Amino acid sequence: MLNPAIRRYWPQYEWSNVWSMFRNMKNPPARCEERFDGRTVVITGASSGVGYHTARKYASMGARVVMVNRNAEKSERVRRELADTFGVVVEQFIADLSLLDGMRRAGGWLAGLDGPIDVLIHNAGLHLEKRQETPDGLETNFALHYLAPFVITGMLAPKLEGQGAGRVIFVGSEAYRFAAWGLDLDDLQWERRRYTGIKAYGAGKLAQLLCMHRFAGDFAPHGVTVNAMHPGMVKTETGKDNGRLYQWYKKSVIDGRSGSPDLSAEALYHLGAAPGLAAKTDTFFHLTTEEELSPPARDLEAADALWTRTLGLLAMKGAMQ
Active site residues: 201
Which helix (H) or strand (E) segment holds residue 225: the answer is strand 224-230
Dihedral sign from CA coordinates of 190, 174, 96, 215: negative
Burial class (CB in 10 A: 0-12, 13-18, 19+), 184: middle
Instruction: Go through 140-158 and write b for each residue having 16 or more CB atoms within 10 A of its CB, e for each that does not.
Output: bbbbbbbbbbbbbbbbbbe
DSSP string, 86-129: H---EEEEE--TTSHHHHHHHHHHHHT-SS---EEEE------S
Instruction: Give dist(CA 259, CA 29) in Å, integer.
Output: 12
Q: How far is CA 6 from the centre of its chain?
A: 27
Q: In degrees, to the nearest 5, what angle opens at C-alpha 64 toward C-alphas 61 and 66? A: 125
- Cα dist. 168→117, 223, 236, 263, 269 in Å? 9, 11, 22, 19, 12
Name the packing angle between helices 197-219 and 300-316 (round to 10°).
100
